[in-house]
Structure formats: structure tokens, C-alpha cells
Structure 1
Amino acid sequence: MHRDRQPFLDDQVIVLRAPTQFWSDRSGDAGHAADPRAAAIHGLYHGDVRVLHEVTLTADGERPEWISVARDGASVTTFTGVLRHLDGTGADPRVRIDRTRETQADALIERIVITSARDVAVRTTIAVDLRPDFAPMQDVKAGIRRSYEWASQQTGDRIAWASGPTTATLRATDAAPRATEAGAVVEWNVELPPHGSVALEWRVALADASAVVAGASGAPAWRDLAVASGDSRLARWVTAAVSDLDALRMTSKLAPGEEFLAAGAPWFFTLFGRDSLWAARFLLPVSTAPALSTLRVLAAAQGTRIDPQTAEQPGKIMHELRAAELDLPGEGVTLPPLYFGTIDATPLWVCLLYDAWKWGAGEADIRSLLPNLEAALGWMRDYGDSDHDGFLEYVDSTGHGLANQGWKDSGDSIQWRDGTLAEGPIALCEVQAYAYEAAVHGAELLEHFERPGAPEWRAWAARIKERFADAFWVDDPEGGRYPAVALDADKRRVNTLTSNIGHLLGTGILDAHEEREVADRLLSPRLDSGFGLRTMSTDSAGYWPLSYHGGSVWTHDTAIAITGLVRAGLGDRAESLVEGLLRAAERFEFRMPELHSGDSARDTTVPAPYPAACRPQAWSAAAAVAVLAARLGLRPDGGELVAEPAPGAGVIRVSGLQVRGRAFEVLAADDHAEATGLDGLNPR
């Protein structure tokens, strides 16, 4: 086995309810996969610790022959197998085993049912072998394997394991776990009556005394959302996505009781400013509740002082929250527990506040966040523009923080067309668009709520728009032009064609002609793979379809471009991108990963997975709702819901949509839609 390599995830099975998750192969066993790269991710995790690395089920010392996996939402999966060594004569398997695994926020439960179709009684011994390792998540992610200290204590019919602040307690029905040097074994001597069945169960209760986040309780705000469509792929994607989003709901000690969406499994069961903001923004057509709670959580941690080590500045919105320092082995990155190294979360916070208001969030809810709005706008003016050139830019001043602090935050994500890495401070094109939109919409909020400053922010926005038009555009070797991905430290245009330009659409920083030019580039085969937008164009020296940010496809990134095209009045041009994501969703069984390869649909019927991609991930899942809303052309209009479906959208029926707390159902057919509110029919 190669050491120190990030585990592959794509073909493995996850059952999750944040902050708990279990990864296994398709048998349900963990730690015994034929491919050691796959087994590296296996196990039961709670928070940022892998509690169990190996879990193996046997019958009379033999592993069952597993034949199917059936997922029931994000938190429950049933593995079905047969026990052919217990069969009588004949070809049919006569004894089957079903193991149903359920994750809860603080527990794992596995129910095992053995069923016999034989005419005689059958005896067997079922054993489950469990082996802890208490590995830190950052070691698992880096592919590091070593021994970790943990303690075991048996009390009656329970075994408790502990390492640091993390504890796990094992118990079983009708069996007493037996401690072993490696962990524990649960064993049942089973007698199956003729044509009968026996049910067994074991469970592990989990706790982390140091946790700064926890699982959310209750039903999700989007519980009434239901979709039926002539194109079943869209309905299936949305259905799978909202189940995953439910399992990713969390709360934080920053603002107890306020929910946010954890960024993704397995690595990011915590609060990320940018990720949580985009996911909540995508969900606005179904509820403003996730947006408001996310805004409040992030407001609770908003910067109040200058601290270069954490990148905190007054008014700044944080990037990442952990219980302890995060050290990424081999990457030279060490992040403090509360880290502010992000350039885009602050303007995106303002954008979400405005959009939540437009979708009907209560005036009192918005009013309570106005001081945070003013602080966020102030950060853009006073700190975001560190060199006072009129643009927001970033640079890591510590030497151990994130080198890139936009959404493409890998070390090689911002590069020139010839593959040379750009040097910071870096001013990303999309961040200027977020800042423009935040200033314009922030001004509208200030004016509406009779707060000072609206004219100044409109003037600030006008200046950044004018400067953007002068500073960012580059000539396209194939004709026309497009915005550079960024300006470098010398204010040179970093000339790579990237998907970042899709984030400019609909923000107002471009005029109508410029938006059409951007649309032309997005829909060219250099960026449009047929399975979504590539992050970097195929004619760039650094392009590679399996590069994290240099040619792969990110679902949320494509969804932002789709939404932007609709906002820009170019909805008819978004349909090829929608179709591309639906093709990809089908390949990934409608649980879209963090990213997939930039392979062309002209060359293959399915895109290759990026094997270490998170799956599920919050903004990839929430993108399903954004794509649904774009295909239907949904937008709020006062207390009404407007639906203007894209040409060729087909038949779609959606219930569970909301504007100002009022429920709507939309029926679209033949490019026409009717939005039905509680008080009658409103054709649009």
C-alpha cells in the first residue's frame, strides 16, 4: 500500500448524519476492501476523529456473499447478502442476511436480520468484530497510518473506548460484547426456525467533549419540497440532494440553535463561511430559514479586531471553524481553530442578506443584522482593498495559511495561460462582482431601513464597476474577449480563461453586451464539457481534466453560472449547462460529488470521478434546487412567486416553494407556468 496518499472515496458507501458518518465497501464491512486505497477511508467517524477503522461481519467465520446495497436517504442503508454455506440442496439461495445501518448525530445503529426459507431449523454464529483507532481526520485525509493511544473499559454488557475528548460506548441486544486486544467482538448463537427470521442489533454511542459544532434536530425547513418532472433525472437529483442536505444540518456554539449546512463529507463536518452561504442562497426558493440562521451564525463570529495569525479583521466573515488547530501534513498549512482566510465570504454574506430579504425574510430578522451589514461593507472598503487600488484582493501574510483565498483555494488554482502561477496579492474577477453586488444591494437595504450611507455605497459600486471594465478584460485568441481570472501583484491581467467568469453574470458589474460575451465563452467547448463547466479552459497550459481547480467540473460552480445566465436574461443559453449537470447526476446515482473530471461528453458517455471528492457536499447538493429554480425561472415579486420556465423545460410540478412564508405550487408545461398560492391561482 502506498502511504501518505489521500483516500479514494468514489466507489465507497457512506451513511451520515452530521457529525457522524460511516464509510464502508458495498458489503458494509470497513477496513477489509480488496483495494487498500478504498479501505483507507473506511470506518466510523464522529466529528474530526475516526473512532472505528475496522468492522467485519461473519457467519460461522465466513464473510457473507453480499449482493445489493439499498440507500434509504442519507442516513440509512441496507446491505443484503446470502449465506450459501447454510443452504440445503438446490440452486436457489435459501438463507439471506440484511444489515441495516443507521447513523444518528451521536450514534451508529446496525440491525441484522437473518431469514431462512428452509424447511428445517438452521443454526449459525454471527459475529461482528470492531477495531478502534481514533485517528485524527487530518491524518486520514493525508493517508497517514500510525498507532494512536486509546483506552478500553468493560462495564457489564458495555464496552467504552476513549481517546482524548472522544468517547464511544458499544452495546448489543441479546449479547454481551467481549473485549479483545484489538477492540471488541459481539457474537450471537442464532437458531433460525423453519421459514423464520431472527433480528440482532448493536450500536455505538458517540460523544466529543471538545466539539464546537453538533448535529441539528427537528425537520429541515425544506421538508415539504416535492418535485415531479417529465425529465425524471431532475426530480431524482433534487430528492437525493435534499436528503443529503438534511443529514448535513448542524449547529454551533457560536450561535446555539442556529442551523447551518456543514460543507461536506468526509472532511468538512463544520462551518465554512463561503460554502454555507452559497448553499443557503441556493435554497432560498424553498425557505429563507437556512439563510437567516446561516447569516446569524456567521455574524456571531464576525471579526472585531486585527489579528494577522487568524486573518481576522473588523467586519470580516470567517472562513472555517474547528475545535483545534488544523495541520495539513505535507502542505505547509496550519490553520487556527477560527480562521478568517477568505476574500469572498464577506461580500457573499451581504448578498445573501439582501436575497433573503427579497425572498420574504421578516423585516425584524433583517433589521437585527443591519449592524453586521454595516460592518461587512466597512470591511470591503477599509480592509478588503489592502493596497487601495479599488479592488478586493488577498495575500497570506503568515506563510502557513491558505495561499489562495477565493473558492478555488488550492495552491495552483490561479495561473497564467502558460501555466505559470500568479503571484499575490491576487484580485479575483468574481470577488469584484460579489463586492459590486454587495455594495448596490447593501445600499438598498440601508435606504429601506433608514440607515445612513446608501449614496456612498452606490458611488463606491459605480467606481469598482468602471475600474473593472478598464482593468480586467483580455483578448481571446479565438476572437472576442473575456475577463481575466484575476489581477496579480503587479496589476497584470492573469489571462487564463476560467469558469470564474460565470460568477459575474447577473451581478450587475457587466453590461448586457459584456454578459453576452461571457456567455459565449462559457458555452464554448473549451469550458463546457457537456457534463458541466470546466474550471479552466482546455487551451490553457495548466489544463488537466482531473486537476482539482484546473480543468475539473464543480457542480456548484456550474449552477452559479446557470443562475447568472437566467438573471442576465439569457436563460435560453443556460439549458446546455443544465443538461450537462443532469447527465453527470445520472452517472453519480444523483448524489453529485464535490467535483468530477472535465472529460468531454463528445468523448465519453460518463465523466470520470475525481476519486477523492467529497460526496455529499452541501453546495453540490443545494445546486440541485438552484438548477430547478433556474429551469423554472423562479423569482420573488413582492409576496408573489413568478415562474418563467426556460424554453424546452418540459413538464415540471413543484410543491413546497415559499415567498414571504406563503406556500406555492408551480406547474410548468410547454414553456408556460402557473404558480398557485394558498389564496388561488396566479398565472405568470
Structure 2
Amino acid sequence: MTDRRVLVYQGLFAAVDSAGDIHGTSGAQPDGLFALDARHLSLWQLTANGARLTQLSPGVLVPAGTRDRPPAYTLFREQAVDRCGLAESVRLVNNGARPLTVHLRYLADADFADQFELRSDDRSYPKPGAEHGRETTAHGVTFTYRRGNSWNARTVITSQPAPSTVTATAGPAVMHWEVSVPAHGATTVIVNIGAVFGTAATTTAVRAPEDVRASVRAELRTFVSSAPRPAQLTEEPALAQACDRGLTDLAALRISAPTPDGTSTLVPAAGVPWFLALFGRDSLLTSLFALPYRPQLAAATLLALAATQGTRHDRERIEQPGKIVHEVRHSELAQFEQVPYGRYYGAVDATPLFLVLLHAYTTHTGDLTLARTLEHHARAAIQWMFRYGGLNEHGYLVYEPDPDGLINQCWKDSADAICHSDGTQAEGPIAVCEAQGYAFDALSRTAYLSAHVWDDATFAQRLTDAASRLRADLHRDFLLSEYQGFPALALDGHRRQLATLSSNAAHLLWSGVLDKRVAATVGSRMLQPDFFSGWGIRTLAAEQHPYHPLSYHRGSIWPHDNAIVVLGLARYGLRKEATTVIDGLLAAAVHHNYRLPEVISGHARHLHSAPVPYPHACSPQAWAAASPLAFLTATSHDRS
């Protein structure tokens, strides 16, 4: 988010401008304080003596001044978040030799908008019976929002010392302090903003941001520094810093999710601002990247996804028995079923990836307990792949576009992503190439679990035979003769090849489904200039008709996509190619303070000295944060 800061911790985040203010923006860069997809703070602006302040540096503000009459005081503004809310302090320092009185004011409001309302997609959502309220208190103001008997949200603002006055009639609430500051002295005002749901109690203690930050940092430090610490496993400084930054972001992005036995666990949410929720594909790939270093993420993800595995037929949510969920949201619009995403199953690839992760976790840790506990869930996932996913009927995993949800249900899930070479969106049922690789991998790995953990040799042989058939069929149906056997992006509903050169094909390297000749073709092709920009591999090769460097999935560069490619290149012994891609992404990471964003533009490196940002990118984002861990695994020649 350009010129903004994002503070996130375990299900709550604040997006503020560089001065710390919130303006109530929407569209590509929404700001505010968010919890459960609801904006609990839509306006938060600080003034002094009735005027806006000038920012000298992040968190340092001054009133107007000149060289001859320098600013009379300096404000040091600090902010921190934890799972309860936002803590803020303003330390007002008197720069002169005479006492000062300064009038501090905060303007505050809470619109409780659902994130789906804030997207710039021209959709609106009626909210019959919705009631907004506000109430002043001795120490601040409380905003309330109620809809029916099932949705009750509050924003509770408290302070120390108490404001001199609080008004909350028409328009924004105003909290005002008349602050006396001694000569060359300082006075501090602390404000807390809590996001509360239902009847949950609120704390009366006002917490300083430095105390909140210290507590959060201690938790993050434990997660980052516990053994094995990835940064200590490489001699490449940029990779070490990217791994540390990635682990820090992964720790902050964890959210609570229920498990099959009714307890809760912490799983990686997808990213901020749009996806601070459990996403099947994102959490699975993130956990796979992190598995050699933080296997607890994999165990948590598997349990959380088992708890939400499909059990019935629901056409609106695309739920089917055994299918692994795409996303789980607890927002207002999801609860009132105005969007289908409370539990939405529009992902063709999450189910095989669930099986891939279960096997990878089992073999990496040597722990057989989880595989035994989830045997029923794994068998249900296999049954879904054959009965509902398309293996029986079509020979491939396929999806039908959902006009009320996701048109495309693979990782490239924007509406125009899976297209023919002329840019025309494919018609279903669609078999994307990478999902067939995941299916092959899932069948092979689950055969191992069946034989060695569940003691079912018959089932194991059935899966092994199915994997062999799928591998042969893929080589027969997907390879493009006009591109020296490079795999097609997909097969459409008429079994026509989508002759579009895409990064999806390189996912087949990671799954190990390609023979060595085709793998060599794919690997070398990825490093040609139309694919490799110098920063990373584009989602579509440049100079094709559908290519656009600022498209979400038709020419941009995704770190996690590159991480999968890198692991695949390493698997087939293409070390030089893997190193080239890693070096490009680490060079891009340096420009982002070692935090890889969700996606960057596809513009070539030789055209600009820094990677061109993608304007709607999430940051931090879980599978981008975990990508440096995959780079480390690839360079250490270790693949689970």
C-alpha cells in the first residue's frame, strides 16, 4: 500500500497513512482498523491547535514553523496492534523555554463497512434493520453497530488521561485534550481503540503502544528464532534477511481456527488487506514452503481444513463431500449469506494439495499420528477427486465456472486468467495443467500413506495405477506440438488445448509428473526473456496477445508462483536456472525491505531500476512471506 503502513497481528490489522491517520478510503487501498472483515475505525485524524501537522519522518509531527521561528513543539506518535485492537500514544515535547498549552484533537468515526463493500467492483449490499449508534464516556467514545440478533459490533475508544471534552453528535466524534507542557518538558496522551464483537468484555486498562509492541515482538521473536532458524542455514545475506522477515510476517498473519475435536489452532491467513482469513490453497502452499522449518504450521493447517472439509452438496457454495474449502470468512455479509464466502469451496486444487501436505508432513516429521487421525478425511478427499472432481468422468481434475462466485477456481482465479491465446476466457469444464500435477502428486503420496501408515495395500495400488494413467494422459493431451512440447495452460470443455504459454506449466516440475525431456523444455523456456523479466518469472510470457504487465494473472510476477517453479527446477536438477530465478526475486525483495509483496508487475528489469509495483498487491501476504523459505529449500537441495 503506497505511502501507508500496515500493522497486523493475529486477525486484526490497521492500515494508516504515513502520519498515522485514517481517512476512510476504499477501492484499491482501503484504510482503517479491521477485524473479522469489518472496519471498526473509518476516520482517525490528529490535529493540534486546530491545524493539521507536518510530518518530519514516520511518527514525528510538528506544527507550522520557519527557520527563524521554528516549531514550538514536536509530537512523537506511536502505534501498535495486537489481537485486541490499536494502541496509540502522542508524546508532546515542548521545544522552548516557556510552558505551553496545546489543544490536541482526534476526529473519529466507525462505519463498520464489510470489506466486500469497500472493493471497487460496483456492487452494493442492502442491510435491512442495521443500526448505528455512539455514546460518549468519561474516557472516550463507543461506536456500536447492530443488525438483527446475530451481528453486534463495537469500537471502544478509551484514553489516559481522560479527554477534556468529548462530543459525538452529528458527524465525526471529537475527543479534545487541553495539554499543558512544561518548559523543555513533555506530556503523553495514550489512546486505545478496541474492536469488540458480541457480548465480549472490554478491558478498562489503557495500554501504551510500547507495551503492546513488546508483548507482540516477544511472541514473534519466539516463532522466528526457534530452531531451525532458516537465516542461519544460508550464507546469502539477502536470503537470510528475507527468511527472517518472512517468518515474522507469517507469525503475525496467523489466525485462530477450529479443529475437528473442537479446540482451536493458529493457521496462516492469506494476507492483508483483503484476505485475512483461512484460505485453503494459500494456507496449504504456505505450510508446504515452511514445512522444513516450521512444521507446526502444516499440522495446524491440516487440522483446520479437515474441520471445514465438505460434507454435503451445496451448489451456491460449490460444496461437495470430501472437498477442501477455498475460503472461510466470518464477516457480516458472509453471516447473512449476502456473499457465498462464509464457507466457499470454489477451488479445484485445494483438495489434492491437502493430501500432498499430509504426506509431506508425515515423512518430514516422522509423526504418524496426524496421518492416522486424518485417514478418514484423506480418503474422503481422494473420493472427491474421483467422484466429483472429474477423474472418473473426465480423466482430469476439472471445474465449472461459477458465475456468482469465482469464474476460475485455480490459483489464477481472476475472471480472465484462464484464456486461449487470443485472450478468450475458456469455457468449462476446465482442466488447468497444474491441477493435474497436484492430482498426480496427491495420488502418489496418498498411495504411500495407504501402504505404510494405513496398512491398505489394495487402496495403495489403486492410487498408484491412477497416478500412472494420469501421467500418461497428461503427456498425450497437454503438450503443445507447436511449442516443442511445452504444456498447454489448460484443456477447455471441448478438450481443446489453451495454447497460452504460462507459468502454470512449470508447476508440473514441482509435482514431478513430467518426463525428463519435457521437464528440460519447460525449465529452459522459463528463463527466456519473454518469461523471465529479470525480477522473476511472469505468469504469462510477454508478447502474447493476452499479456499485460499490470494484469493480476496475465503477465504479473508472483513470488509464490516463482517459489513453486524454483522447487521444481531444483527437483529436476536444473540448479543454474533455479539460482537465476532466486537471485532475481531476492533483488526485488531488497527494494521492499526484504518483504516480498503478493505480486509485482511484469515490466522488465532492464527498463527500470526497481520492480514496478502492482497497484492492488497484498502486503504482507502469507505465501509471498513463505517464498524465501522455499528458495532456501531449493538451494539446499532438500524437497519434502
TM-score (norm 1): 0.83
Q: Please, which of 141, 156, 161 is the counterpart of residue 169 of structure 1?
A: 156
Mapped pair 1:62 → 2:42: no
User: In the TM superposition, what are the counterparts of 1:103-502 in structure 2 within 5 Å?
Assistant: 103-142=81-120, 149-164=131-146, 165-176=152-163, 178-180=166-168, 181-209=170-198, 221-224=223-226, 225=229, 227=231, 231-253=236-258, 255-323=262-330, 334-360=339-365, 362-385=367-390, 388-396=393-401, 399-452=403-456, 453-476=459-482, 480-502=484-506
Q: Check conservation: 1:10, 1:609, Cα contact below 8 A.
A: no
- Give the match for residue 663 of structure 1: none
Deviation at 1:610, TM superposition (A): 1.3
Q: Which moved more, 1:597-606 or 1:586-595?
A: 586-595
- Aligned pair 1:558/2:558, yes or no? no
Q: Which amino acid letter does the alignment assign opposite residue 13 of structure 1?
A: R
Q: 1:493 to 1:326 in 2, by over 3 A?
A: farther
After the TM superposition, which residues 578-657 of structure 1 pair with which residues of structure 2 at under 5 Å, given as runs? 578-635=582-639
- TM-aligned CA deviation for residue 202 of structure 1: 0.5
1:80 aligned residue (46, 60, 66)? 60
Task: Map Cα deviations across residues 556-591 of structure 1 (whole Å, 9 max, x no partner).
Answer: 101110111112222221111111111221222322
Shift of 1:194: 2.8
- Are the equivalent residues in 2 in contact too, given 1:19–1:106 (CA < 8 A)? no
Partners of 2:193 and 2:366 lie apart in 1 by 40
The AA in structure 1 aligned to 2:37 is D
1:505 aligned counterpart, secondary structure? helix
- 2:514 aligned to 491, 503, 510, which one? 510
Letter in 1 for 2:553: H
Name the structure where helix makes up a greater proportion of residues: 2
Residue 6 of structure 2 is aligned to residue 14 of structure 1: yes
Partners in 1 of 2:121 and 2:437 — Cα distance?
A: 38
Query: Which whole-Å CA distance do the structure 1 matches of 2:230 and 2:475 have between them?
Result: 43
Against the structure 1 CA distance between its residues 632 and 197, is the aligned structure 2 distance closer, same or farther, given a 3 Å change threshold? farther
Secondary structure of 2:476's match?
helix
* 522-531 or 468-477: bigger deviation: 468-477
Q: Is the 8 A contact 1:248 1:264 kept in 2?
A: yes
Amino acid at match of 2:593: E
Q: Is the CA contact (8 Å cut-off) linking 1:175 and 1:186 kept in structure 2? A: no
Report how far residue 106 of structure 1 moved: 2.0
Q: Show the counterpart of 1:31.
A: 23
Structure 1 pair 623–513 and aligned structure 2 pair: CA distance change class (3 A): same
Question: Which ranges of structure 1 fall in alignment gaps of 5 or more residues?
Answer: 1-8, 70-78, 328-332, 637-684
1:493 alignment partner, SS class = coil
**Is the partner of 1:63 in helix, strand or coil?**
coil
**Contact (CA 8 Å) 1:325, 1:334: kept in 2 or not?**
no
Alignment correspondent of 1:529: 533
Distance in 1 separating the partners of 2:31 and 2:597: 18
Are residues 96 and 309 of structure 1, via their aligned partners in 2, closer, same or farther at CA, if it must alter by over 3 Å? Answer: same
Q: Are the counterparts in 2 of residues 501 and 518 from structure 1 also a CA contact under 8 Å?
A: yes
CA, structure 1 residues 38+372, in 2 after alignment: closer, same or farther (shift >3 Å)?
closer
SS at match of 1:384: coil
254-263 or 194-203, which deviates more: 254-263
The residue that corresponds to 1:680 in the other structure is none
Please tell me whether the aligned partners of residues 40 and 140 of structure 1 are also in contact (alpha carbons under 8 angstroms). no
Query: Aligned equivalents of 1:191 and 1:561: distance in 2?
Result: 60
Per the TM alignment, residue 275 of structure 1 is displaced from its structure 2 partner at its CA by 0.5
> The residue matched to 2:176 in structure 1 has which SS?
strand
Q: Give the CA deviation at 1:253.
A: 4.0
526-535 vs 362-371, which deviates more? 362-371
* Cα deviations by residue, 1:530-561 (Å, 9 ceiling, x for unpaired): 11111111131010000111001111101110
Contact 1:556 1:619 in 2 (8 A): yes
3-state SS of 1:527 partner: coil
Contact residue 241 and residue 621 of structure 1 kept, 8 A: yes
Corresponding residue number in structure 2 for 1:651:
none
Aligned to 1:649: none
Distance 2:237 2:98 in 1: 46
TM-score (structure 2 length as normaliser) = 0.89
The residue type paired with residue 565 of structure 1 is L
1:178-235 CA-to-partner distances (Å, cap 9, x unmatched) read 1322232222222222332222100111122399xxxx99666444236266643323
Compared CA separation, residues 393 and 40, structure 1 to 2 (3 A): closer
Q: Secondary structure at the match of 1:359?
A: helix
Give the counterpart letter for 1:350 in structure 2: L
Figure out how many residues of one structure are paired with residues of the other and give that number: 602
Taking the aligned partners of 2:391 and 2:462, their CA distance within structure 1 comes to 19
User: Is 1:222–1:287's contact at 8 Å kept on the other side of the alignment?
Assistant: no
**SS in structure 1 opposite 2:277?**
coil
Alignment match, 1:647: none
Amino acid at match of 2:462: E
Cα separation, partners in 2 of 1:265 and 1:273, compared to 1, 3 Å = same
Question: Counterpart of 2:592 in structure 1: which amino acid?
Answer: F
SS in 2 for 1:135: coil
**Do 1:260 and 1:293's aligned partners in 2 also have CA atoms closer than 8 Å?**
yes
Name the CA distance, whole Å, in 1 between partners of 2:194 and 2:502.
Answer: 46
Of stretches 459-468 and 177-186 in structure 1, the one that deviates more from structure 2 is 177-186
**Range with bigger deviation, 603-612 or 586-595:** 586-595
Verify: 1:96 aligned to 2:88, yes or no.
no
Among 519, 525, 536, the residue aligned to 2:523: 519
How big is each residue's C-alpha offset from its partner over 1:77-104, in whole Å with a ceiling of 9 and x where there is no partner?
xx1223354x8x7576663221111111
2:10, 2:83 within 8 Å by CA — same for their partners in 1?
yes
Which stretch shows the higher mean deviation, 15-24 or 141-150? 141-150
| 1:435-479 superposed Cα distances (whole Å, 9 cap, x missing partner) | 0011111111111114321111100100000101100000345xx
Root-mean-square deviation (CA, aligned residues, Å) is 2.6
**How far 1:366 moved relative to its partner?**
2.3
Which string of whole-angstrom CA distances, capped at 9 and with x for unpartnered residues, describes residues 304-333 of structure 1?
Answer: 222222211121101111225858xxxxx9
CA distance in 1: counterparts of 2:519 and 2:5, whole angstroms? 42
Task: Note if 1:45 corresponds to 2:52.
Answer: no
Higher strand proportion (structure 1 or 2):
1
Change in 2 beyond 3 A, CA 1:325/1:385: farther
